[in-house]
Amino acid sequence: MGFALFGPQDAFRGADVFPLRISRDALFLAMLRILPDATGRGVGKALVHAVLKEAKARGKRAVECYGDRGWQHEACIVPASFLESIGFRVKREHPRFPLYRIDLGSLAKASKNVEAAVEAFLDNLFNNEPAVGKAPARSNAVR
């Protein structure tokens, strides 16, 4: 349904072209991609939640990411509007590519929202799938 690329900023060649640097206490979310059929179903929130949990496991205090205010299509950078909608805040301003940050303190609050979104997504996914192995209903019509 989607994926997230994250790690130390130094691990991503080309990330140094941005004028703003990732903080030492933060994990860098370099890219987030959601398949078109999965957009709007909570997959992005679930991926960010997983990155927050990984940041905590690595002893980081936050996740930081560059957002794109002019995002119009699939690209390697995350739309600023998505980041803002899930709780990221602008850490350092830039006209097109601000640096966003979300602190691990948001993890507990986000957990409940993500769990609800994942449950709704799975319910929708499995309730809209055709049943496997069921024969079609027979008609009693005489021919």
Average pLDDT, the chain: 78
pLDDT of residue 139: 43
pLDDT over threshold 70, residue 133: no
With a CB cutoff of 8 Å and minimum separation 6, the contacts of 30 are 5, 6, 7, 9, 12, 15, 65, 76
Flag whether pLDDT at 112 surpasses 70.
no
Residue 28 has pLDDT above 60, yes or no: yes
Task: Report the pLDDT value the prediction gives residue 116, as an integer from 0 to 100.
Answer: 61
Give the model's confidence band at 128: pLDDT under 50 very low, under 70 low, under 90 confident, else very high: low
Q: Cα–Cα distance between 104 and 100 in angstroms, integer?
A: 13
Residue 37's pLDDT is: 85
Q: How far apart are CA 97 and CA 99, in angstroms?
A: 7
Q: Which residue has the higher pLDDT, 9 or 86?
A: 86
Q: Is the pLDDT of residue 45 over 80?
A: yes
Burial class of residue 3 in the structure, from the number of CB atoms within 10 Å of its CB (0-12 exposed, 13-18 middle, 19+ buried):
exposed
Domains of the chain: 2-114 (3.40.630.30)
What pLDDT score was predicted for residue 91? 94
**Rounded CA gap, 7 and 63, in Å?**
10
- Mean pLDDT over 19-44 rounds to 86
Residue 50: pLDDT band with limits 50, 70, 90: very high
103-109 contacts at long range (C-beta below 8 A, 24 or more positions apart): 103/61, 103/62, 104/52, 104/55, 104/56, 104/60, 104/61, 104/62, 106/52, 107/49, 107/52, 107/53, 107/56
Task: Evaluate whether 43 touches 121 at the Cβ level (below 8 Å).
Answer: yes
Residue 126 — very low, low, confident or very high, per pLDDT cuts 50/70/90? low
Better-predicted residue by pLDDT, 76 or 3: 3
